[in-house]
Structure 1
Amino acid sequence: MHIKTTKCNRFCLVASVTSLDVFHRHEAKTNFESLFRSFDPEVQFHYFRSFRRVRISFSDALAAAEARLRLHKTDFNGKEMRLYFAQVVPRLEPPKPEKQFLISPPASPPVGWEQSNDATPVINYDLLCAISKLGPGEKYELHTATPTTPSVVVHVYDSDHDEKSRPPRPKIIQTRPRHDNLRCLVRRDSEMV
C-alpha cells in the first residue's frame, strides 16, 4: 500500500465550512472568528466563499495544533466543521540547463571560422559552340556509348514542327442571346412568385 506524504504548514489551518452563514452574515462570521481567537489573538482569516473554505493563519504552531485538536469535527451553526493543516505547495523551478539546445544559429561565427570563396563556374565552350551551330530538329552527341555507359545526345526542340503536328484549336464563337428565350425565363420567374 502506497502512502502519499505531503508537507503541511504548521501555522495554517483550512476550515471546511458547510454553513454559508459564515460568508453572508456578520454575526456568524464574528462567532466563527471568536472560536479561533481564543487560541491565538493575532490569528488572520481569509474567506473563500466559492470553495466554502476559510484559511486560518496562526502566529504560533502550537496554537494551530491545539485549535485543530479541539475544534475538528465540531458543530458550528448546526453543521459539522472540519479542520485540516494547509499543504505546502512546492515552487516550480525552470529545468536544469544540461540539455538546452539552440534553436537559432549563433549570433557570431565560431572562433577560427573563415568564409570560403565560391568556386568559379566551369563553362564548356566547345559544348556551347556546338549547340549554337545546331538548327531546329538536329541532334548532337555529347558522349559516345561504351560497353558500360550509354551515349548522351542533345536534341534541339523545334517549335514549328510541334505546332504543325497538332490539330488546330476550335474557335469559340460568341452568340447573341435570343429575346424569345429571355421572355420565357422572365415569365416563368413571375409565375413562380
Structure 2
Amino acid sequence: MEDLSMDVDDGQLDDLEDLPTSIIVTNMEPGVFRNLDLRNDFESIFRNFDGDATFQYLKSFRRVRVNFTSSQAAAEARIQCHDLKFGENRLACYFAQHVDKENNNDDPHLQPPLPYKQFLISPPASPPVGWEPVAEAEPTINYDILSALANLAPGETHELHPPSEKHPGIIVHVCEEDEEDALNTDRAPKITQTSRPPLPCER
C-alpha cells in the first residue's frame, strides 16, 4: 500500500464550500466486496482523512461511494487517493454529484449536473469583406475520346494498351446488338405473374 503523506497544495483546496462531501472510488479490487479484512484495509485509507467517513458499496459497478463530514476531507482524499495502488488495481477517485447549497430544495431524487460548461454551437461566421464565390469551371470536352467512342463498331475488338512482361494488355470487346432487341426497344418487358398456391381441395 502506498504512502499517503504527500503534500496537498493549498491552492487546490480553495473554494471548498462549492465542492461535494462525497467521492466515488472506481476500479475497485473485487475482493473488497466479499473479504471483510480487505474491506477494513480499504476503509482505513479514507478514515485517515475523516474518522466519521461512511461507505456505500456498489458491487455491481465495482465502485464505492465514500461520504465525508466536510468538503475539505473529501478534497484531500480525492487528491491523495487518486491513482493509489490497492491490491492489484489502482484506485480512481472522482467527486460525487455536486449539490448547489443555495438552490437546494431537499429533493431526494437525482438532479442533473449544473451547467458549468455549455459550449453552444455557433452559426457559421459571415464571409470577410470583399469575398466573392469562385465560379465553377466549365466541363472540358475531350473530342478525341468522343471520336474514338464513335468509331467503335459492334463485334470488333480495340486494343487500348499493349501487353508487356509485367502487365497484361487491355482490349475492349464491343458487344453486337441483337436485331430483334434493336427493333423492339420501345416494348416494355413482360412481367410473369406469380401463380397462386393450390388450394387444399385441389391437391
Higher helix share goes to which structure?
Answer: 1
TM-score (norm 2): 0.39
Q: Which has the higher strand share?
A: 1
